Amino acid sequence: MSLTDLLSPSDIAAALRDCQAPDSFSPKKFFQISGMSKKSSSQLKEIFRILDNDQSGFIEEDELKYFLQRFECGARVLTASETKTFLAAADHDGDGKIGAEGITCFKYR
């Protein structure tokens, strides 16, 4: 399964266009524009599985900086500030990584 099986390619493209400039990425806005915020919890968990590059069950900080590239190969890397902000918003237990429940929290924001 790929992200385009769950999200519209045009919505993904629009979300990536919205955050092209460094330090313009907002997880909440990205989730809204990409259509992720409209997905069920089970669909978000499937998206999480796809985004979890090493299939560890978590998205760690060094994986998170490449978050946009999981949607499109040529997308930019998140800045250190964006990565830390995203991690802080979704890392509920402070262990430095995001589990599937961390990603689903953006559905309700």
Q: Which amino acid is at 44?
A: L
Q: Annotation-wise, does 58 bind a ligand?
A: yes
What does the alpha-carbon distance between residue 41 and residue 26 come to, in Å, rounded to a whole number? 20
Q: Annotation-wise, does 72 bind a ligand?
A: no
What does the alpha-carbon distance between residue 60 and residue 50 come to, in Å, rounded to a whole number? 14
Q: Annotation-wise, does 91 bind a ligand?
A: yes
Burial 3-19 (b: 16+ CB within 10 A, else e): beebbeeebbeebbebb
Q: Annotation-wise, does 52 bind a ligand?
A: yes
Q: Annotation-wise, does 97 bind a ligand?
A: yes
Q: Annotation-wise, does 54 bind a ligand?
A: yes
Q: Annotation-wise, does 93 bind a ligand?
A: yes
Q: Annotation-wise, does 28 bind a ligand?
A: no
**Residues annotated within a binding site:** 52, 54, 56, 58, 63, 91, 93, 95, 97
**Residues annotated within a binding site for Ca(2+):** 52, 54, 56, 58, 63, 91, 93, 95, 97
